[in-house]
Amino acid sequence: MNSFTTPVLEKYASSPLLSTPAEDEHIVITGNTRSWDAARKLPGFDHGWEQYAIVDDQIKNMMRPIDRLSIYNARRWLKYVSAAFAERDLSLLPVQLYPTAAQYEHQKDGIVNAVPFPHIRTRIILNPDKFLHDDFWALATTELRFLWKSNMEDGYTRNARTGLFEFTPEFHKCLNDPNCWALTSDFFDAFPEFHGEAKVFETPFVVS
């Protein structure tokens, strides 16, 4: 695995936010379905998005496009939530990203908060020496699966009024559903202590 995830995305977590939620959807859809060069020309393409573009260049051949589209959007939600998880901010988050007791206690910032599995977040926070390293994050990122049953193109549309790409109501519903997120069996083979804390996506067995 390349060493990329922790330094780049932690840098992203502390960057200023220049885009709106509507611009974010347009940017993430453009970057994942057209190109990040096209996305860089859009209003609201800020330093945080540049960090994601850097990561995407390194992992785009290691993840399905639908998984990249979903996880980048989920992580972007956290830009609208204060590090203290103020009550007024929680309505902005899907239920699977609501802070755990460990997050409140340790005020953990950045990439840990974006893991869409509450029990896994807690275990990471309580065992930083074991999990806060690039090998873990590389596997946790590339082995994440978003369980969208349609074609990716069915998950977004272009708003006729604004001209911006936006996710469909059905895609938003799936983004907000904990049952639509999973980790591959390869991840659990590498980190068996997480069994039972996220849905398992069975990795196809390939006969050589």
Domain chopping of the chain, boundaries: 5-201
Query: Taking the alpha carbons of 130, 133, 102, 147 in that order, is the dihedral positive or negative?
Result: negative
For 23-180, list the strands marked E by DSSP: 144-146, 156-158, 165-167
DSSP character for 181? E
* pLDDT value, residue 47: 84
* pLDDT value, residue 56: 85
Q: Residue 110 and residue 14: Cα distance in Å, rounded? A: 7
Contact status, residue 113 vs residue 121, Cβ threshold 8 Å: yes
For 31-153, list the strands marked E by DSSP: 144-146
Q: Residue 72 and residue 82: Cα distance in Å, rounded? A: 18
* pLDDT value, residue 131: 92
* pLDDT value, residue 67: 93
One digit per residue, the tens of pLDDT, for the chain of length 208 reads 444 455 545 554 555 556 788 899 999 999 999 999 999 999 889 888 888 888 888 888 888 999 999 988 877 777 766 555 666 667 778 889 888 999 888 866 567 888 999 999 999 999 989 998 888 988 998 999 999 999 999 999 999 999 999 999 999 999 999 999 999 999 999 999 999 999 999 876 544 4
* pLDDT value, residue 19: 75
DSSP output for 128-143:
HHHHSSHHHHHHHHHT
* pLDDT value, residue 118: 95
Contact status, residue 82 vs residue 89, Cβ threshold 8 Å: yes
For the chain, list the strands marked E by DSSP: 144-146, 156-158, 165-167, 181-184, 199-201
Q: Residue 31 and residue 29: Cα distance in Å, rounded? A: 6
* pLDDT value, residue 4: 45
Q: Residue 115 and residue 179: Cα distance in Å, rounded? A: 14
